[in-house]
Structure 1
Amino acid sequence: MGVTVRRQQRDGAWYVHVVHRGERAAQKCKDQAEAEAFAAALRGAILLGTFDIAELRARSEPATPSPTVEDFYRTIRPLWEGSLASKTFTKYDGDFRNHILPDLGATPLDKLTRDRVKDFVVTLRQKPARKRAATEARRAKEPERKLARDSVRNVIAALRAALNEAVERGLLRENPALRLGKLYKEAGQIHDEVDPFTAEEVKRLLAATLEHFGRANYVVMLTALHTGLRSGEIAGLEWSDVDFANRLLIVRGQWQDGRRVRTKTRKRRQVDISDVLLAELQALKKRRQEEYLKRGKSEIPAPVFLSPGLIIWDDGKPVGRCEGKPLDMDNWRNRVYWKACDRAGVRRRRLHDTRHTFASILLMNGESPAYVRDQMGHSSIKVTVDVYGHFIPGANRAAVNKLPSLGALKAKTTTAGE
């Protein structure tokens, strides 16, 4: 229960908003003084038990016409852009542009019923999923699939967040997008295609990187293949995150949109460092310290992997580079990674497939899914098993062999008459 006084931004008018026993109403007033007085009278009536929200609705002047879903989204979009995490805003904005506005954009908010939202969920479940293959030829062979359950859930989450804001502003009495899980829990689940390098391809890729792109880029490639870090986590890695004594990387954040933010799961994790990678990181730090001492600098930049830096121009001539920034992994992918694949004679994969390579090789070498989950930073072991379970050698066979039995029985020799 509550009575609040608000000034509407669109027309500057003052409104008294009432929430009483799960129902909402609003009354337009000519100025703030009238709104405050009316609100006080309503609070008194509620305390005395004489308040009737139906009567208030009947006498209330109609507020401004209910905006459409599209108009309302345009209103809250700047708020979201400034307040949400960059990745969350990008996801919500994409869901609105690609799914919500084409179907619900012209619907006035006050006409957006729960049945209408349920119909929208059913429509989402029938939409074809975007094909994920890397090339046109492979996409042509890829079977048609419907939107995955997680995709449907994410679209509804974006819609639900917007409608929560509409409820807060008094434009809706209740959110029609709440508690819709039963409608999409049976939708199909689609994971990104897992396409790891083989152990032999890893060796060729590392050798090609070292030979053609130098030691510094070799260490970046080795880190990607030996730790399974996401590309943003590699870029966000700082020297304070490297525990040389305990042979660990402490993954505290990732580099995203020009700043260091929390990891995807919003949790820090510890990743074991191989002996080879440990030696390379120690050598890289030593080389960088020596390089900066020659320049008269006693401290090195915090990022482990540095961008080559933008060229600094003076009077039309290059005079240096802007250094000290974390490595731009998109640029590194185009400038080094894919070219190294070509030099190594291996098929190009996404940079994210170095992460899949790390997990799949660990599992094929007999490491437990629980260990791989911890190294990868998955939110649960279910994610690890769902994505990489088929890389566990003999997993299904081992499971059925654990069923209770009498063991292997000797063949019985039959005699005549039996």
Structure 2
Amino acid sequence: MDRGHRGITIRGNSAQIAFTYQGVRCRESIPMPLTKAAQKELVLKRQAILYEIKTGSFDYCKHFPHSKKAKEFRKTRPDQYTIGEALKYWLQRNQTKCQPSTLRDYSSAIYYHLIPVFGELAISELTAIKIKEFLADLSCSNKRKSNILIPLRRVFDELYHDEIIDKNPLERVKNLPANTREPAPFNADEISRILQELKEQERNLIQFAFYSGLRTSELIALRWQDVDFEKNCFYVRSAKVRGHLKCTKTKSGKRDVTLQPQAKEALLNQQALTGKHNEIVFHDSRTNQPWKDDQAIRKIVWTPALKRADIKYRNPYQTRHTFASMLLSRGENPMWVAQQMGHKDWSMIIKVYGRWIPQSK
């Protein structure tokens, strides 16, 4: 065979075959004996490849199963690329883009829920009805179900916008309505009874929670440098989730909050205990180190205090509801309350706390 045959180059005991696929110039090496029969077979192979590319039936993996390009081009074949592969690749690409706690949630959704059910399916095999059946079988809240679908939605959004698939089955699957719980704020007597069951750091922590409206994750990330006694306010800039500091839940979560008298009192008492460290405000009194996460507060401080005070259990988030309802009940402007709470507008305040807003006469 002529060594200068178009698209084929002989190199020792192998040949390099060249062709263009999806606008990319490809070169693949094939071991072959230096016989006329082998060379003739190589010419026929290239002709077959060109024909398959022209007719849209070319399968890169079939011709070159060990090629790096084959693995890349496989991602453009929804009939071959599996959902499991796509999810793993998506998670890998987002390692540096997401907070550790978010990555942990995505990993849980992918490896414990999505891959066991959909992992072996080709991208093109997923349908809206399969997703709806999957959701129906999950034994968790509607909010959790919606969160589990997030990685799958992101993968299929990318595939659709990259024109790898013609339609996105996730677009026909709406998130289920969240089962929102009614606020159950504590009254003044209950707050007093709870605080009476706590001492020093734990008391300061819970008292500040009641009169600041912070999420627990924001509470344990508060630093002394974020407190300004002269201006009678403090600044919410970060949150601590599963042991990792991160930005606040939303952009509006970064906010300046006015110090209520009871919150200021708690901080002044706490300053004598941790102020010298000039770092995190609230510490676990057992170790005198900052709290690692909000779950520890619930188990070690909150639940035992409610039991001792003989008060029906509500989760620690109700301290935030208590703060909002307290401000609204005394006639504070709902827009100002929304800013203090870290909401982007006051629609959430009206929706969740409307019954605590005094009616105009």
TM (norm. structure 1) is 0.62
Equivalent residue, structure 2, for 1:203: 192
Which residue of 2 is the match for residue 73 of structure 1? Answer: 87
Q: Within 5 Å, which residues of 2 pair with 1:146-295?
A: 147=142, 154-163=147-156, 173-174=164-165, 176-177=167-168, 180=171, 184=174, 188-209=177-198, 214-267=199-252, 268-288=254-274
d(CA) in 1 for partners of 2:233 and 2:318?
22
Which residue is 2:28 aligned to? 30
The residue type paired with residue 55 of structure 1 is K
CA distance in 2: counterparts of 1:17 and 1:124, whole angstroms: 37
| Alignment check: 8 A CA contact 1:152 1:184 kept | no
Structure 1 residue 388 corresponds to structure 2 residue 353: yes
| 1:345-384 equivalences in 2 (<5 Å) | 345-384=310-349
Deviations 1:217-267 (A, max 9, x none): 111011110011011101100001101111111000011233321000134
Show CA shifts across 1:328-359 (max 9, x none): 43222211211111122211211111111111
The yes-or-no answer on 1:93 pairing with 2:102 is no
Match status 1:130 vs 2:148: no
Using the alignment, how far apart are the partners of 2:139 and 2:345 within structure 1? 25
Task: Give the whole-Å Cα distance in 1 for the aligned partners of 2:113 and 2:139.
Answer: 12
Q: Percent identity?
A: 23
Out of 255, 279, 282, the residue aligned to residue 302 of structure 1 is: 279
- For 1:361-414, what per-residue CA distance to the aligned partner results, in whole angstroms no more than 9, with x for missing partners? 2222322321221111123322222222233344xxx5xx8xxxxxxxxxxxxx
Amino acid at match of 2:328: L
> Kindly tell me: are residues 86 and 120 of structure 1, through their superposed partners in 2, closer, same or farther at Cα, counting changes over 3 Å?
farther
Partner of 1:10: none
CA distance in 2: counterparts of 1:331 and 1:15, whole angstroms? 61
Q: Residues 250, 364 of structure 1: CA spacing in aligned structure 2 closer, same or farther, 3 A cutoff?
A: same
Q: 1:184 to 1:164 in 2, by over 3 A?
A: closer
Q: Tell me if structure 1 keeps the 8 A contact 2:205–2:266.
A: no
2:226·2:234 contact (CA, 8 Å) conserved in 1? yes
CA distance in 1, matches of 2:115, 2:58: 34
- Contact residue 27 and residue 61 of structure 1 kept, 8 A: no
**Alpha carbons 1:160, 1:175 under 8 Å: kept:** no
d(CA) in 2 for partners of 1:17 and 1:266?
Answer: 44
Q: Quote how far apart the aligned CAs of 1:76 are.
A: 4.2
Query: Which residue in the other structure is 1:108 paired with?
Result: 122
For residues 265 and 344 of structure 1, the distance between their equivalents in structure 2, rounded to whole angstroms, comes to: 35
Q: Contact (CA 8 Å) 2:235, 2:257: kept in 1 or not?
A: yes
Distance (whole Å) between structure 2 residues aligned to residue 371 and residue 124 of structure 1: 43
Distance 1:27 1:176 in 2: 29
Report the equivalent of 1:84: 98
Q: Distance in 2 between matches of 1:60 and 1:179?
A: 27
**Do the aligned partners of residues 125 and 389 (structure 1) sit closer, same or farther apart at CA in structure 2, a change above 3 Å counting?**
farther
1:119 to 129, 154, 167: 129
Deviation at 1:154, TM superposition (A): 4.4
Q: Is the contact between residue 124 and residue 165 of structure 2 (CA under 8 Å) also seen in structure 1?
A: no
Q: What is the deviation of 1:188?
A: 3.4
Q: Check conservation: 2:212, 2:263, Cα contact below 8 A.
A: no
- Give the TM-score of the pair, scaled to structure 2: 0.70
Alpha carbons of structure 1 residues 251 and 280: separation in structure 2 relative to 1, 3 Å = same
127 and 18 in structure 1: CA distance in 2 versus 1, 3 angstrom threshold: same
CA contact (8 A) 1:224 1:355 kept: yes
Deviation per residue, 1:85-131 (Å, 9 max, x gap): 1232233334445664465333212434xxx2x33565477667736
Question: Could you say what secondary structure the match of 1:237 adopts?
Answer: coil
For the residues of structure 2 that align with 1:346 and 1:60, how far apart are their CA atoms? 67
Unpaired segments of 5 or more residues in structure 1?
1-13, 20-25, 32-52, 132-146, 293-299, 311-322, 402-418
SS class of match (1:304): coil
Distance 1:153 1:200 in 2: 38
* 1:69-95 superposed Cα distances (whole Å, 9 cap, x missing partner): 124324444444554212322333344
Seen in structure 2, the aligned counterparts of structure 1 residues 107 and 281 have a Cα distance that, compared at 3 Å, is same
The runs of 5 or more residues in structure 2 that have no matched partner are 1-17, 30-51, 62-69, 75-79
What code does the residue aligned with 1:338 have?
Answer: T
Which residue identity does 2:174 align to in structure 1? Y
Q: How many residues align?
A: 307
Residue 218 of structure 1 aligns with an amino acid whose one-letter code is R
**Letter of the 2:129 counterpart:** D
Please name the residue that 1:134 is paired with. none
Secondary structure of 1:30's aligned partner: strand
C-alpha contact 1:159 1:177 (8 A) present in aligned 2: no
What is the letter of the counterpart of residue 87 of structure 1?
A: S
Query: What amino acid sits opposite 1:370 in the alignment?
Result: M
State the Cα distance separating 1:272 from its structure 2 match: 1.3
Paired with 1:338 and 1:380, the residues of 2 have a C-alpha distance of 32
Contact 2:241 2:293 in 1 (8 A): no
Q: Is the 1:125–1:184 contact (alpha carbons within 8 Å) kept by the matching residues of 2? A: no
Deviation at 1:327, TM superposition (A): 5.6
CA distance in 2, matches of 1:17, 1:208: 73
Q: Which residue of 1 is the match for residue 15 of structure 2?
A: none
Contact 1:301 1:324 in 2 (8 A): no
1:175 and 1:152 map into 2 onto residues whose CA distance is 26
